[in-house]
Amino acid sequence: MATGVTTQHPFFENPYITVAEYKNAPTAIDYDNLVVGGNAAAQDAELANVILRASSFMDETLNQNLNASTQRENQRVRLSNSGYLAIHPNNNPIISLQSMSYGTDPNSLTTLSDPSKAWFEDQQIIVPLSQLATTYSSQGALSFGVGAAPRQQMFVTFNYTSGYVNSLIATATAGQSTLTVQTADGIVAGMQLRIYDGANSERVTVASNYTYGSTTVPTTAPLAYTHANTVAIGNLPQAIKEACVLITTAFLKVRGDNSLTMNVTTQPNGNVAGASKFGNEMAIALEMLSLYRRIR
105-130 tens-digit pLDDT: 999 999 999 999 999 987 899 999 88
What dihedral do alpha carbons 154, 156, 162, 168 form, nearest 10°? 170
Higher pLDDT, 5 or 38: 38
**Mean pLDDT across the stretch 25-51?**
91
Q: Would you state the pLDDT for residue 146?
A: 46
User: Which contacts qualify for 133-138: CB closer than 8 Å, 24 or more apart?
Assistant: 133/83, 136/83
Helix (H) / strand (E) containing 62: helix 40-62
**Residue whose C-alpha is closest to residue 186's, from 290, 94, 88, 91:** 94
| Residue pLDDT, tens place only, 209-242 | 999 999 999 999 999 999 999 999 999 999 999 9
Report the SS3 class of residue 188. Answer: coil
Q: Would you state the pLDDT for residue 11?
A: 65
28: pLDDT confidence band, cut at 50, 70 and 90? confident
Q: Cβ(88)–Cβ(63) under 8 Å?
A: no
| Residue pLDDT, tens place only, 46-76 | 999 999 999 999 999 999 999 999 999 999 9
d(CA 197, CA 232): 7
